[in-house]
Structure 1
Amino acid sequence: MESPRKRLDRDVLVTTALALADAEGLTAVTTRRVGQEHGVSPMALYRHFRDKDQILDAIAERLLSEVRLPEPDDRVWDVQLRDVLTALLTVLRPHAAAAGLVTTRILGSPPGLAIAERTLELLAAAGFGVEQGAEIASQSLCSMVTLVVTEPGRVQTEDPQAREDAVQAKRASLESLSPVRYPHLVAAAGALASCASGDVYYARGVELLVAGIRGVRTGTPTPAV
């Protein structure tokens, strides 16, 4: 029988799994590895998680539960939507390796449902119909994940020197391109390799998205394909 000392709280296990994802990526998150971190066998986790997928579900729910949705107020819909998206980004930014989990799991837990409902509510207030609002909400929330996982300079390592080496290698690779054929890529090599300011990068990303939604709402013509 399992020793009482080894009875593990579900939240503690999720915290461990998220820390593993942050440090080593999602491939490190297994029932065996999480159990090892607590000195127990994978069987000891089965009370809470049958397999890795359930651990990943729990990580996604943990992230979504930490999003602090702003209270509804009298400001225009796009300002409130910007704040909702920023609240999601604030939670995802420190957890790039796990951020992608919320893309397919946001409708699978109460915290995710609350975020989706609020987003749809704001889009309805903007005048979008059900179908268009659903598409825009889905694309908007997924775009926040994309901003995080594709942040220039994002490297899966806790070693500052390894990160710097990776950034410099990417910059050097871009700078070595033909300046005749790729003049803009060569000029932007530094910015493409690493963000000068993460805060500016994310604020600009949110504003570009919200501005695009405003454009759709006001009937900006869509180019023919």
Structure 2
Amino acid sequence: MSTVSTRSTGARTSDDRVRRTLDVTRSLLLRSGYKRTTMDEIARRADIGKGTIYLSWDTKDDLIRTLVIQEIVGVCQDISRIAVLRPAVARLSEFSRELFTLVFKYPLFRALYTYDKETLGRACDDPQLGFQCYRFTTFTPFRDYLRMLHESGMWDPSHGFALDALLSGFIKLHLHAEIAGAKPDLAAHADSLAGLIRSSFEPADQVPAEELTDPARRTVEIFDGAAAKYRAKLIPQPLAASV
């Protein structure tokens, strides 16, 4: 049977159920946390039979993993799009500015980065996600990006720990200010981070802007490839039955 035929009403309903289930689960996790987000509560709020949810996800952890992977994919896709539009993002300082901003755009990605088990539960330790808390330098696409910078003479690998420490410090302080209700200026903090990384880690003789085309292209390839690999980890989500 062809997979490019016109979609039926049932298929659209299935997609609606998937979207509703994911949206409700994300909302509950962020508001109530992992322990209070139950499959019963998800089903009730999404107005979907619990048995229908189990057609796609065996456990609550599988459902949460789907949400986290979606956000990782979103981060990778955003970086790729930005690098297409602004080749200067190939520089570590500009890249870090964008990454810092994306951490606060994607709350479940941030919870994974900060090892927030109260929000994500077991997903924080899920080997399928390939992520170590507070260590962007071990995150495969970021590691590949840094390797590319090193090959281009734009990064010294011996600075990896210092880079992780600087990134995590900025993210923690900004997050704590948000929690305290201080309404910190995200753009200003991103600018400060970029400035410190520029002065601390980038070579004094900067690669001219006109020579950033190839590093930017490789940045796009790295994060497009990472998005595709993470997308392949997503569990199929039929939700075709109505219970």
Letter in 2 for 1:50: D
Normalising by structure 2, what TM-score?
0.50
Of the three residues 22, 27, 33, the one matched with 1:14 is: 22
Structure with higher Rg: it is 1
* Corresponding residue of 1:91: 105
1:214 aligns with 2:196: no
Q: Which runs of structure 2 are paired with 1:49-60 in the superposition (5 Å)? A: 49-60=57-68
The structure-2 alpha-carbon separation of the partners of 1:57 and 1:212, relative to structure 1 and needing over 3 Å to count, comes to: farther
Query: In structure 2, how many angstroms separate the alpha carbons of the residues matched to 1:47 and 1:79?
Result: 45
Following superposition, the deviation at residue 118 of structure 1 comes to: 3.2
Contact in 2 for aligned 1:123/1:133 (Cα 8 Å): no
| 8 A Cα contact 2:26 2:67, kept in partner | yes
Structure 2 gaps of 5+ residues are: 1-9, 115-123, 131-138, 205-243
**CA shift in 2, pair 1:30/1:133, >3 Å:** farther
> Helix, strand or coil: the match of 1:100?
helix
Q: What RMSD over aligned residues (CA atoms) do the two structures have, in Å?
A: 4.1
Identity, in percent, stands at 10
- Secondary structure of the corresponding residue to residue 71 of structure 1: helix
Tell me the equivalent position of 2:48.
40
Count of aligned residue pairs for this structure pair: 168
The alignment status of 1:128 with 2:128, answered yes or no, reads: no
Q: Which amino acid aligns with 2:148?
A: E
Distance 1:77 1:200, change over 3 A: closer
Q: 1:28-47 CA deviation, whole Å, 9 max, x = no partner? A: 43322211112234332122
> Is the 1:20–1:29 Cα contact (8 Å) retained in structure 2?
yes
Alignment gaps of 5+ in structure 1: 156-166, 168-193, 219-225
RCO (CA 8 Å, sep 6+): is it higher in 1 or 2? 2
Question: Which residue in 2 is equivalent to 1:175?
Answer: none
Give the TM-score of the pair, scaled to structure 1: 0.53
Equivalent pair of 2:21/2:42 in contact (CA under 8 Å): yes
Quick check: 1:85–1:206 contact (8 Å CA) kept in 2?
no
Amino acid of the structure 2 residue aligned with 1:89:
V
